[in-house]
A and B are shown apart, each in its own frame.
Chain A
Amino acid sequence: MINYFNPNNTLKIINRIQKFVFALFIIVLLLGLVEALVLSPEDYKQSDSVRIMYVHVPSAWISLGIFSFISILSFGVFVFKNKNFSLITKSLAPSGFVFSIIALVTGSIWGKPTWGTWWAWDARITSMLLLSIFYLLFITSWKITTDTGKAEKISSIIAIIGLINIPVIKFSVEWWNTLHQPASVKILEETTIHSSMLTPLAIMTAAFALFSLLIFLMKYNTELLKIKNKGLNRL
C-alpha cells in the first residue's frame, strides 16, 4: 500500500499535473469571482458586505480541512515513522496557515460593519486564532532543528494535539453563546443560505482548494528534490 505513495514515481506525476492544476485554478477562480462580485445578489440585511463571505467562509473551511488532514497523517508519522507522510504534512502546512490568517483578517473586516467591532474574544474567534497558532508552531518546529527525526516527532505531536481544537472550532457556536452566528451550511439540515448565494460560495471553495493543492504540489516537489539532491535513492 505504501508503494503507491513512492516518491520516486510521484515526482514525475507532480510535474505533469502542476500546470493542469494551475490552469484549472485560474479558470475556477475567475468564474468564482464573477459569480461572487457581479452575478450574486446583495443580502437583504447586510447588502454588499455579504460578499466578504465568499472569501471568509471558504478560507476557514480549507484551513480546518487541511489541519484535520495533517493531524490524521501525523498519526502515521508519529506511530509508524512514515517519512512520506511527514513530507506531505510539511508541504500542506503553509497554505493552511495562510488560509487561517485570511479567515481571521476577512472576519475582522466583516465584523466592523456588521457587528460593530473588529475583534471579540468569543469562543469561535478565539479557537480560530488558536488554530493559526497551532499552524505556526507546526511550521516553526521544522525550522528550529536540523535533525529531521526530531522535527518529525515534535511537529506530529503538535498536529495531533491540535486535532482536539478542530471540533471545538466547529461546535463553539452551538456549545456557548458567541457573537459569531451559527453555521449556515449544515450536513444534516437544510442550509440557510439562498441558492443564488450558495453557488459562488461553492465555486470559491473549489478555487481555494485548487490553490492549496497547487501550493502543496510545488512544496512537495521541492521537498522531494531536496532529498534527491542528498543522493539518496529511496526514503
Chain B
Amino acid sequence: MYGKKVKFRALFIFLILISLVLTIFLVVKSLEENVVYFKSPTDIKNLNEIKNAQKIRVGGMVKKNSIKINDKEIFFVITDFKNELLVNFKGSVPNLFEEGKGVVAEGLLKDKSFLNADKILAKHDENYMPPEVSEAMKNN
C-alpha cells in the first residue's frame, strides 16, 4: 500500500520515539530525588543520614493550633498526618500561610524533628469558590 520509504520513515520515527520515552523514563526515575520539589515529614524520618550543610525542602499541612509567634520568630508544625516536623522561621510569611493549609519550608535540618527554615512558601489547593460559598460550607 505504502512505498518502502514511507514504511522506513514510519519505523524510524517510531523507534526514535520508543527509545526516547524509555530513556527519559529511566533518567527521571533515577533523578526522582531532584524531580520531587519537597519531601514529606515521613521521608525525613526515613532518611539515613542528615546532611547538615545541605538545604532541604519539606512540605505538608500546617498542623492546627501549632503556630506560635514570639518577638522575632514563628514556630509551627508541618504534618502529613503520619509524622510531624517542627519548623522555626524568622521573617514574613506569605499571605496564604495558614493553619490547616499546605506549606513548603526550605532550610537546614537540625535533626529529624526540627527544621531551621529560611524560606516559607504557601502551597494552595485546587479549590476555588466565592467567600459566601465557603461560609455556607463551614456552617454545614
Contacts and interface: CB of A to CB of B under 8 A. Distances in A.
Interface of A: 41-46, 50, 53, 75, 78-80, 113-117, 120-123, 157, 160-161, 163-164, 176-179, 181-184, 192-194, 196-197
A77 to B, nearest CB: 10
A184 B38 CA distance: 21
Contacts, number: 114
19 contacts: A42-B131, A43-B128, A43-B129, A44-B133, A46-B124, A75-B13, A80-B6, A114-B94, A116-B93, A116-B122, A117-B121, A122-B37, A157-B13, A161-B17, A163-B17, A177-B37, A179-B121, A182-B126, A184-B126
B95 A164 contact: no
B107 interface: no
B36 A176 contact: yes
Contacts of A41: 130-132
B9 interface: yes
A114 B93 CA distance: 10
A197 B9 contact: no
Contacts of A121: 37
A45 B36 CA distance: 26
The interface residues of chain B, by DSSP majority, are classed as mixed
The interface residues of chain A, by DSSP majority, are classed as loop
B21 interface: yes
A176 B6 contact: no
A47 to B, nearest CB: 8
Given A79-B13, A114-B96, A184 B128 contact: yes
Contacts of A123: 35-37
A181 B129 contact: no
A113 B130 contact: no
Contact of B126 (A75, A113, A183): A183
B12 to A, nearest CB: 9
Contact of A79 (B9, B96, B97, B133): B9
Contacts of B10: 79
Contacts of A45: 96, 124
